[in-house]
Amino acid sequence: MEPKKNPKADLRKRSGMFFVIGLAVVMALVYGALEWKTYDKTNEYDISLNVEDDLDEEVPMTEQIKTPPPPPPPAAPEVIEVVEDEEEVEETVIESTETSQEEEVIEVEDVIVEEMDEDVDVPFAVIEDVPVFPGCEGSSNKRACFNEMMQKHIRKNFRYPEIAQDMGVQGRVNVMFTIQKDGSIGNIRYRGPDKNLEAEALRIIKKLPKMTPGKQRGRAVRVPFSIPITFKLQ
């Protein structure tokens, strides 16, 4: 017995349509796959800076110092009066000081110039007339006699201070003094290693006698003189 086929149930009639539909579906899936995009997940963070303001101090506002305005200029006088100069001014006539031949020349007497007494110091080494030590009046070389008499005076009045001997102090005291215009001794200065030696040197110089003052150009002048006094232990 042969099976009977329903002509309406023939699937080959619509195979072309199914093929087209399947092809369209496949193309749609391929297109969708190609156009599909994926994105990475990102955390939603606040990227703004969260900085706390730690400055609690209040900044004082600087005040602008207003300088006082300058004083206004003095007001100008309302009316300026013009005063005419009616006074006559006498002109000063300067006469010539030149003498003419007609004027008589008056003779002027000799002018006497008074010499001033200059208070100067002349060193002992360059003075013309050295001071005269008592006892050197008749000496031909008064300069050498002065030095010799000075040494005799120091040796005669010399006394070594006991306190300086006990302390073992010795040395040289440089003494400077001035023979005044009246022959007295003044302006005594000294310098030494110990005050006791200086005091002894001062005592010796104060005992110098009054002398005949030194002279320069026939006039008495002050004469500075210096001498060392040596203190030496035996």
CATH classification at residue 176: 3.30.1150.10
Residue 168 lies in a domain: yes
Q: How far apart are CA 200 and CA 204, in angstroms?
A: 6
- Tell me what pLDDT residue 234 has: 78
- Tell me what pLDDT residue 45 has: 47
pLDDT band at 219 (very low <50, low <70, confident <90, very high): very high
Give the total number of structural domains in the chain.
1
Assess whether pLDDT exceeds 60 at residue 217: yes
Query: Residue 107 is which amino acid?
Result: E
Q: How far apart are CA 22 and CA 28, in angstroms?
A: 10
Domain containing 187 equals: 142-231
Assess whether pLDDT exceeds 60 at residue 57: no
Residue 135 lies in a domain: no
Q: Which of 16-25, 33-42, 160-169 has the lowest mean pLDDT?
A: 33-42
Residue 210 lies in a domain: yes
Higher pLDDT, 90 or 152: 152
Residue 58 lies in a domain: no
Residue 202 lies in a domain: yes
Residue 165 lies in a domain: yes
Assess whether pLDDT exceeds 50 at residue 51: no
Q: Which of 44-58, 142-156, 195-209 has the lowest mean pLDDT?
A: 44-58
Q: How far apart are CA 137 and CA 119, in angstroms?
A: 25
Residue 198 lies in a domain: yes
Assess whether pLDDT exceeds 90 at residue 4: no
- The helix/strand/coil state of 116 is coil
Assess whether pLDDT exceeds 80 at residue 189: yes
- Tell me what pLDDT residue 212 has: 92
pLDDT band at 37 (very low <50, low <70, confident <90, very high): confident
Residue 156 lies in a domain: yes
Mean residue pLDDT of the chain comes to 78
Higher pLDDT, 61 or 180: 180
- Please compute the mean of the pLDDT values over residues 73-91 and round it to a whole number: 59
CA 150 from centroid of its chain's CA atoms: 50
Tokens standing for 81? Answer: 């009066």
Assess whether pLDDT exceeds 70 at residue 162: yes
- Tell me what pLDDT residue 150 has: 93
Query: Residue 195 is which amino acid?
Result: K
Q: Which of 44-48, 86-90, 167-171 has the lowest mean pLDDT?
A: 44-48
